[in-house]
Structure 1
Amino acid sequence: MVGLLARAFLAKEPGATVVHDPRVVWNTQSEIARGGGRAHAARTGHAFLKQAMRDTGAIYGGEMSAHHYFRDFMCCDSGMIPWLMVAELLSSTGKPLAELVAEARTAFPSSGEINFRVVNPANAIQRVSNALKHKADAEGLTDGLSLTFPDWRFNLRASNTEPLLRLNVETLGDREKLAYHVKQVAALID
């Protein structure tokens, strides 16, 4: 949904900045690039997303947890605005929402957020980093640990609100590799 809303806003304001959280990013960044926008990753949580929007002048900010923030709505969260924007997008594309979502899920399959109860989240994150960081093309520390490889990536972060470690894995069009990498990272966490 963040990618679809980024598409809708960039159609209205090409070149604008869109803020997103670092959990699942490839579809969102693809939509932003396609719309000629600028992607800006911010730490997960409304206070962090809203501040990043103010700092960058972003037109829109979205989290994969279905929180959506709008520059012209004082950078506040709203459920009504996304509904209206998606309705407008459906009207302009002539495609049903299920088809638009399926296209994104096919191109960039993701695990969804998988939660782990661990005694020491920092130690678990460090264990995963030690095992995989040397193989990664890029590392991000905006919110937890994000490692990017040629055809997959993950974000592993401690929850801001619960005693949980949260994992999100995504691939470039390969559901089988998605399952493999989820198991790989989960084994390192446990």
Structure 2
Amino acid sequence: MTTEPEDDLYDRIVTPHDIRGLFRAEVDPGLAYRAGAAFTELTGAGAIAVAHDVRQSSPCLADAFAQGVLDQGADVLDAGLGSTDYLSYVSGCLDVPGAMITAGRAPAAYNGIRLCRAGAVDVAEGTGMELLRRRLRAPRPPLADRPGSVLPTRVLHDYAAHLRTLVDLSGIRPLKVVVDAGNGMAGLTAPLVLAHPSIELVAVRWELTGTFPRGAPDLADVSGLREAVRESAADVGLAFDGDGGRVLAVDERGAVVPPATVIALVAGRELARRPGAAVVHDLLTATSAIDAIKEAGGIPVRSRTGPAAIKALMAEQDAAFGGAHGGHYYFRDFWYADTGMLAALHLLAELGDCGRELSELAARHDRYASSGTIDVRVPDPLAALQRVVRHFAAEGTALDHLDGVTGELADGAWFNVRASGTGPVVRVNVEAGTVAAMGRLRDRVVEVVVSAGR
């Protein structure tokens, strides 16, 4: 590993949500071993599930993490190769803590570890990640008197079968579905979960290479999916990121379906099963999705961004469903964990039941103009946020501080400004009723943010 001071290393690679860094230089088997030992000590569990993605570095990191667990006297439930939501299934179904060796949508040179407590409850900053960071800096704990045992727990087909019990596809019309796995874990899970007599799957990048030869599996570029949908005259296209957790859809014309539209469609289906239930959304979710939740008789509940915050609020509210602006979808029936594959099943069920094109379904929710996330580099993010507060408060804008600074204007337009947790960057999101109004508000907010750094 790198020779930089360990405090600096751990501050960087132990993020609020996971451990992540360059393989060998920052995240190596030695660190994985100590993380396994520290996580066992932290949870006090008698058994911990371990799964890994297809990255070439993942098996050795999984073995090292498992050895750290075993040397502390706990058993390892070896779940093998799978997606992150597969690990959530194992943790939730067997009620054990779990570790997923993955770097999500990061390039192949990276790897990391995501952790959850029993029942697929996220380990994040404030719920254990800060303690894990401290334990990694401490001397390695002594070996247990008796090591644990490795128990093979390869239950991928059980995971797929469980997801299929949660969505009724029995009466759907025939659908042609393009699935771009990005050479990631959906190449393994999609054929199992989406197998159905009425669904014809068209494979794009299903090969489990472990190197992502066509670029990082981050859903930043779905041009190949869009082209494949048009060329094959498919009804819908689905793209998954590297660990299979996040999904992005395109309609039959190849146009990207905003995550807010997916939230609206899935929320409507879940609320039909649980009338009047709460649906959690992060504070960057488009107003169109919130409108749809209300129209379906649900109670929209606003959350800070991030999986830990959304899942905790869902559990508190007994919410039926949760959605995030970036394309993560959380389900009460899946231990409040996120699973892009279950969201995909719901989307196919909705499309197959209604007899309309996806573009028509999406058009019903195209009501507002959004800027998307704009990253603005500034010397001092905190000063930038303070400037935003002073400027817009002086104009009488209603402000709140649930996550960064959110301002709501009298005409319903809103903005959010947050400091990034990864550098001197402020993240700006803006929504308004028209493209022109959104552009004007966006430019005003960015100008205030930039002026704070002058």
Q: TM-score, normalised by structure 2?
A: 0.40
| 2:410 corresponds to 1:152 | no
Letter in 1 for 2:400: G
Give the secondary structure class of the aligned counterpart of 1:44: coil
Q: Where does the alignment leave 5 or more consecutive residues of structure 1 unmatched?
A: none
2:294 to 33, 40, 47: 33
Matches within 5 A, 1:114-133: 114-133=374-393
Unaligned runs of 5+ in 2: 1-261
Is 2:279–2:319's contact at 8 Å kept on the other side of the alignment? yes
Residues 74 and 132 of structure 1: CA distance in aligned 2, closer, same or farther (over 3 Å): same
Residues 1:8 and 2:283 aligned together: no
Cα RMSD (Å): 1.7
Q: Which has the larger radius of gyration?
A: 2
Q: Of the candidates 178, 184, 188, which is equivalent to residue 444 of structure 2?
A: 184
Worse-matched range after superposition: 120-129 or 30-39:
120-129
Change (3 A) 1:97 1:136: farther
Change (3 A) 1:162 1:56: farther
Change in CA separation of 1:48 and 1:163 when aligned onto 2, cut-off 3 Å: farther
Residues 119-165 of structure 1 deviation map (CA, whole Å, 9 limit, x = unaligned): 21121111112111344553222111111112311111123455431
Paired with 1:186 and 1:160, the residues of 2 have a C-alpha distance of: 19
CA contact (8 A) 2:289 2:365 kept: no
One of 320, 326, 330 as aligned partner of 1:59: 320
Q: Which residue is 2:430 aligned to?
A: 169
Specify the alignment match of 1:70 in structure 2.
331
Aligned partner of 2:345: which letter?
Answer: L
SS at match of 2:370: coil
Corresponding position: 1:112 with 2:383: no
How far, CA to CA, are the matches of 2:361 and 2:445 in structure 1?
Answer: 29
Counterparts in 2 of 1:94-113, with a 5 A limit? 94-105=355-366, 107-113=367-373
Secondary structure in 1 aligned to 2:316? Answer: helix
Contact 2:370 2:431 in 1 (8 A): yes
Counterparts of 1:11 and 1:19 in 2: how far apart (Å)?
A: 16
* Cα distance in 2 for residues equivalent to 1:83 and 1:136: 42
Q: Is the 8 A contact 1:24 1:155 kept in 2?
A: no
CA distance in 2, matches of 1:118, 1:136: 25
Residue 87 of structure 1 pairs with residue 87 of structure 2: no
> For 2:370 and 2:396, how far apart are their aligned partners in 1?
18
Matches within 5 A, 1:128-147: 128-136=388-396, 138-147=398-407
TM-score of the two chains, using structure 1 as the length reference = 0.90
Indicate how the Cα distance of structure 1 residues 182 and 84 shifts in structure 2: closer, same or farther if over 3 A, else same: same
Partner AA of 2:425 in structure 1: L
Paired-residue identity, %: 35
Alignment size in residue pairs: 188
Structure with the largest fraction of helix: 1
One-letter code aligned to 2:268: R
Code of the residue aligned with 1:138 in structure 2: it is A
